[in-house]
A and B are shown apart, each in its own frame.
Chain A
Amino acid sequence: MLNLLWILLGGYVAGILLPFCLPQEPKAQNLMASVPAIVATSAGVVLGLLGLMSSEPVTGSLASTIPLLTLAIRLDSLAAFFVLTISVVGLAASIYAIGYGRHVEGRASVATLGALFNGYLLCMTFVVLADNGFFFLLAWELMSLLSYFLVVTEHEKADVRYAGVFYLIMTHVGTAFIVMAFLIFFQGAGSFSFEAFRHPGQPLYGGMKTLVFLMALIGFGTKAGIVPLHVWLPYAHPVAPSHVSAVMSGVMIKTAIYGLIRVYFDFFGGQFPWWWGFTVLFLGATSALLGVMYALMEHDLKRLLAFHSVENIGIILLGIGVGMIFQSYGLKELAALGLLAGLYHTINHAMFKALLFLGAGSLLHATHTRNMEEYGGLLRRMPWTGLFFLIGAVSISALPPTNGFVSEWLVFQSLFLGFQIPAVFLKLMLPIAAAILALTGVLALACFAKAFGIAFLAQPRSAHARHAEEVPVPMRIAMGFLAAVCVALGIAPMVVVPLLDRVVTPLAGISIARNILAIDGWALAPVNVEFSSLSTPVLALLLVALSLLGLALAVTFGGRLKPRRYKTWGCGLNLSPRMEYTATGFVQPIKRVFSTIYQPTVKLETEFLDESRYFAKRRHFEFHIELIFEKYLYDPLVAFFATLADRLKVIQAGSLHLYLTYIFVALIALLLLAV
């Protein structure tokens, strides 16, 4: 297995170096970056699968000259699961990059982009493999920095630079918290190795433990995009090249989930009070609901998807949070179920979100705009992209028989089982969380009905959309691959669940695959078959059979089925794209219902003809929603620091002598203090 690791490492390193060997040839450079990445990610997929299968963790380490830093890796089942997720998405993104290179040419250096992308995947892989706190932080920081450079690929644009700086600041604030958490661990353990973190010389006591919990939650939460730390996400993810967005949104934010599970379940061994789990659950529910609600109001396709990442991270945290609650009450089986649901949704979200981002990239490639209001009628022009995007949309809306449905169903089940907890407060809270999840699911469905309908159906709304063409083959292969994975993960939970069980078993201390898989493994039944059970293969068969039945009935009793081509009837008017349902119009009812949260401002200015007040010459409609977290949390914070900096300006007089005097006085004061 270590050989595979060397292939992976070699592939990425080759992908970093080779593109620079051929100056002036963007096409060849692109291939030189993508092909090694494909090799490396394939190795990663195999490595992840083997790691999941093997019973013993694989370890390896390399001493370094830097004190406290050992380049130690450990491939246990949790790490293997995340390596697998990263590699599958990385593989699709690398294939996609072959076709996407043409879009990048002329906007940025293809070689630099390719090299950065390889380095980025490499660092992400080592984040989950690292077995040493120092090494982990190193990989984490490199991952953040490289992703910053990827975000600012098109740095000539001001909004890209703004997004980049915003991201950089947020991610560093997050990293600072993680560093503090690790330093607290280091205090007790006396070493940075994860093994020492697990079994510290001086175990952490109450207050310190809580501190670590909060620091890890804030630190990893910033990367994951938990509300209210999510604000950077809708800026940074959309402006990156699309295959990079896919990896960022699909898997990079999942490394934070990895970090949380590693710290709470592995380092603390699942020993924590119930309110930890409740906090995670609460944040998860908030993120899920607010994420989808802001996504609904978005008309920039990639921003919409970024907000959906916030939502899905929330759903994952719902699973993990409820698992943590069960764990602290000693309900091991249920804890395992919650964790499993969270992890299942982790891999599912990675797949369908990457698929959707690649789809959005294809639309961007074909129409040169991210604004949905300029799409329309693309299904006829880009049938493959449309099909794959539809599969992604169905998955993210949690409709059977795709993967999103299975994992959300499992999250629901674990929330419903909250009645087994011997605390009234939680007994009340868990059903509320389930209700929020249900609302989230419905809103997500509405959102993707809008996204797909506006983008792909009806008539083109702009010249861009009218002249759109299907994207190159590699991009279609990449999307097709992810779409197939989405469907496979949905239809075959009986294969996925035992694999996930191997991840969960060491964390929760109990194996539940046997309990969950009922009826010879063809159905899932978390408690018992009477309470609830689900068989997606049967569901899929039913869906196909029912549609066939409908077709058969139509053919038998529907009479003549002769296609007639004619324009849509428009009451005698000629239909134009301006009459179409707009994205803004579509979400109008939802905006009304939730106006307390959106705080929308609508501005309608009408210019009348001079002759008569009854004829309007021009109308200007403006509508935007308030981003409450930015307005009420971040803006005051930024203003506070700006004021503070202004105050400090007083001592910065610009005089060299004055500065020297500061140093002199400080030196003498310190010397006197030392005496």
Chain B
Amino acid sequence: MQVLSSIGSQLVNVCSALLLLTCFAIVAQRRLSACVDLFALQSAFLVVTAALVAYLTGNQHIYIAAALTGVIKVIIIPRVLKKIIDRLNVKRELVMYINVQAGLLICGGLVMLAFFISQPIIPLGSLLTRDSLAIALAIVLIGLFTMIARQKAVTQLVGFLVMENGLFLGATAATHGMPLIVELGVFFDVLIAALIAGIYTNRLQDAFDSVDTSRLTALKE
């Protein structure tokens, strides 16, 4: 039993690390469709992590949450995003506020920051997933950073969804899953947010002939 738990904990850590790795990949990736694919991959890792946690803790309702993650984040949202990309015909992000190399360095710094911040919290929990909390925080920060660094609305949306993945990982890892009703609500929110952002992107294209959100400054008086 001890062995199983320790192996399980290792596995959860591995999966969390893979989630973090995909984050870096997203930051480094310029092609939009590849970004979306990476997000789908990250969500798939999240499904595996959640299922592992569910198996190890015996909380049945995390399975449901994992299944929902699979359906919504691995299948539906990536499809919606792909459609938007096709319609708008934007394949690449040419201009970035921060170039890829600097971005990766900053992300590395953010990961260190996340570990530093969660240091005092980690010993408090009886976690089978010691480092997952820090990783989750790092993913949230990187997601936010992606939103700042990129100009296209689609990549900003991906950044937002990455943040959400980080939050979900944190919730699963730290609390063994929130109450099911909360998780359902969050899923619904994310789905709606993604749809609204999709519509917003389309509108942006219509109004400015571009999905570059930096053009929004034109709205100021």
Question: What residues of chain A have their CB less than 8 Å away from a CB belonging to chain B?
Answer: 652-657, 660-661, 663-664, 667-668, 671-672, 674-675
Partner of B117, one of A652, A664, A672: A672
A655 touches B144 (CB 8 A): no
In the complex, how many angstroms separate the beta carbon of A649 from the nearest chain B beta carbon?
9
Using A672-B117, A675-B117 as known contacts, say yes or no to A656 and B214 having CB atoms under 8 A apart: yes
* 108-166 of chain B: CB within 8 A of chain A: 113, 116-117, 119-120, 141, 144-145, 147-148, 151, 156
The answer to whether A667 touches B144 (Cβ under 8 A) is yes
**For the complex of A and B, 6 pairs with smallest distance between CB atoms:** A654-B220, A654-B217, A656-B213, A660-B148, A671-B117, A655-B217
Residue of B nearest to A657 (CB): B148
Chain A to chain B contacts (Cβ below 8 Å), 27 pairs: A652-B220, A654-B217, A654-B218, A654-B219, A654-B220, A655-B216, A656-B156, A656-B214, A657-B97, A657-B147, A657-B148, A657-B151, A657-B213, A660-B144, A660-B148, A661-B148, A663-B144, A664-B141, A664-B144, A664-B145, A664-B148, A668-B141, A671-B113, A671-B117, A675-B117, A675-B119, A675-B120
State how many residues of chain B have any CB contact under 8 Å with chain A: 20
Report chain A residues within 8 Å CB of B218: 654
A653/B148 in contact, CB under 8 A: no
User: Which residues 46-92 of B have a CB within 8 angstroms of A?
Assistant: none
**B199 → chain A, closest Cβ, in Å?**
16
Contact A654 B216 (CB under 8 A): yes
Contact A655–B113 (Cβ < 8 Å): no
Interface residues of B (CB under 8 A from A): 97, 113, 116-117, 119-120, 141, 144-145, 147-148, 151, 156, 213-214, 216-220
- Which chain B positions have C-beta within 8 A of A653? 217, 220
Q: Looking across the interface, which residue of chain B has its beta carbon closest to that of A654?
A: B220
For residue B121, give the distance in angstroms from its CB to the closest CB of chain A. 9
Chain B nearest CB from A675 CB (Å) reads 5
A567 CA to B193 CA in the complex, in Å? Answer: 81
> Which residue on B lies nearest to A660, using beta carbons?
B148
A434 to B120 alpha-carbon distance, docked (Å): 70
Residue picked from A653, A663, A674, A675, most chain B C-beta under 10 Å: A675
Q: Which A residues are CB-close (under 8 A) to B144?
A: 660, 663-664, 667
A674–B217 alpha-carbon span in the complex (Å): 34
A537 to B38, CA, bound (A): 94
7 extra A-B contacts, CB within 8 A, seeds A655-B214, A656-B214, A660-B148:
A653-B217, A654-B216, A657-B148, A657-B151, A664-B144, A675-B119, A675-B120
Interface centre among A652, A663, A671, A672, by most chain B C-beta atoms within 10 angstroms, is A671
The answer for the CA separation of A226 and B218 in the assembled complex, in Å, is 47
- How many A-B residue pairs lie within 8 Å, measured between CB atoms? 43
**Cα distance A654–B113 in the bound complex, in angstroms:** 29
| A652 CB contacts on chain B under 8 angstroms | 220
Q: Which residues of B sit under 8 angstroms from A674, Cβ to Cβ?
A: 117
> Inside 8 A of B120's CB, which chain A residues have their CB?
675
Secondary structure call for the B interface: helix
In Å, the complex CA distance between A657 and B120 comes to 32
Cβ B113 vs Cβ A668 within 8 A: yes
Chain B: minimal CB distance from A229 (Å):
33
Output the residue of A654, A667, A672, A674 with the most chain B CB within 10 A.
Answer: A654
User: A451 CB to closest chain B CB, in angstroms?
Assistant: 47
**Alpha-carbon gap, A661 to B218, bound state (A):** 19
**In the bound complex, do residue A656 and residue B116 qualify as a contact, i.e. CB atoms below 8 Å apart?**
no
- Output the nearest chain B residue to A659 by Cβ-Cβ distance: B148
Pairwise interchain contact B117-A660, C-beta atoms closer than 8 A = no
Residues in A neighbouring B213, C-beta threshold 8 A? 656-657
Whole-angstrom CA separation of A656 from B155 in the bound complex: 13
State whether A657 touches B214 (Cβ < 8 A): yes
Bound complex: CA of A390 vs CA of B145, how far in Å? 74
Contacts of A668 in B (CB 8 A): 113, 141
Please give, as numbers and ranges, the residues of chain A lying within 8 Å of B97 by CB-CB distance: 657
**Cβ distance A664 to chain B, nearest Cβ, rounded Å:** 5
A668 to B151, CA, bound (A): 22
**Bound Cα distance from A529 to B41, whole angstroms:** 97
Docked complex Cα distance between A656 and B215 (Å): 9
For B117, list chain A residues within 8 Å (CB). 671-672, 674-675
Cα–Cα distance between A664 and B219 once the two chains are bound (Å):
23
Question: In whole Å, how far is B97's beta carbon from the nearest beta carbon of chain A?
Answer: 7
Q: Is the CB of B147 within 8 A of A660?
A: yes
Question: What CA separation (Å) do A664 and B145 show in the bound complex?
Answer: 7
Rounded to whole angstroms, the CA-CA distance of A675 and B220 in the bound complex is 38
Closest approach, in angstroms, between the C-beta of A64 and any C-beta of chain B? 22
Once the chains are docked, how many angstroms separate the CA of A530 from the CA of B82? 98
Min C-beta distance of B153 to chain A, whole Å = 9
Residues in A neighbouring B148, C-beta threshold 8 A = 657, 660-661, 664
Distance (whole angstroms) from the CB of B78 to the closest CB of chain A: 23
Q: Which single residue of chain A is at the shortest CB-CB distance from B114?
A: A671
Q: Which of B141, B144, B147, B148 has the most CB of A within 10 A?
A: B148
Q: Complex: how many Å from CA A663 to CA B140? A: 13
**Distance in Å: Cβ of B33 to nearest Cβ of chain A:** 23
Instruction: Give bound CA distance, A656 to B220, whole Å.
Output: 11
* Residue from A655, A657, A667, A674 having most chain B Cβ neighbours under 10 A: A657
* B99 nearest CB across to chain A (Å): 15
- Residues of B near A671 (CB, < 8 A) are 113, 117
Residue of B nearest to A667 (CB): B144
Q: Which of A656, A668, A675 has the most CB of B within 10 A?
A: A656
Give bound CA distance, A653 to B120, whole Å. Answer: 37
Tell me the smallest distance from the CB of A656 to a CB of chain B, in Å. Answer: 5
Minimal beta-carbon separation of A661 from chain B (angstroms): 5
Task: Tell me the bound Cα distance from A657 to B213 in angstroms.
Answer: 8
Q: Are B216 and A656 in contact (CB under 8 A)?
A: yes
